[in-house]
Amino acid sequence: MIEVKINYQGNDIVSFQVKGHAGFAPAGEDIYCAGISAVAQTTLLGLLKNLSRKPEHQIKDGWLKCQLPAGLDREEMDKAQIILSTMEAGMLSMHEAYGDFIKLEVRRS
């Protein structure tokens, strides 16, 4: 199962993590893993390209973690939220359609 965690601080998404494998098909052929991976990696690329202060991130086999830097000004945070809320919408849609393979957890603080 793929686990997606999205963390909010107030009204802003500040981090996300994706880990695991769907187990639907062999590695390299699993459409659920590929879809989730594409959304997560594209989100990270969008943040890296569009923010002046880069997010902290780590990528390993079956695992991606991304954390926005503390103290972003509102303009930068707004840019990040457009990218991150688009990711959240994509993850939610995939979770709703393929919940047997994808677990989604949204944490708010």
Each residue's pLDDT tens digit, 47-101 = 999 999 999 999 998 899 999 999 999 999 999 999 999 999 999 999 998 888 8
- pLDDT at residue 32, as a whole number: 83
CATH number of the domain within which 29 lies: 3.30.70.1490
- pLDDT at residue 22, as a whole number: 75
- pLDDT at residue 33, as a whole number: 87
Residues 6+ apart with CB under 8 A from 84: 6, 13, 16, 43, 47
- pLDDT at residue 72, as a whole number: 96
Q: What are the C-alpha distances in Å from 94 to residues 10, 28, 41, 43, 45?
A: 25, 19, 15, 15, 20
Tell me the residue range of the domain where 102 lies. 2-108
Q: How confident is the model at residue 108 (pLDDT cuts 50, 70, 90)?
A: very high
Tally of domains within the chain: 1
Each residue's pLDDT tens digit, 18-54 = 998 877 776 777 788 889 999 999 999 999 999 999 9
- pLDDT at residue 16, as a whole number: 98
| Cα–Cα distance measured from residue 9 to residue 14, given in angstroms and rounded to the nearest whole number | 6
CB 83 within 8 A of CB 50: yes
Residue with tokens 């708010």: 108
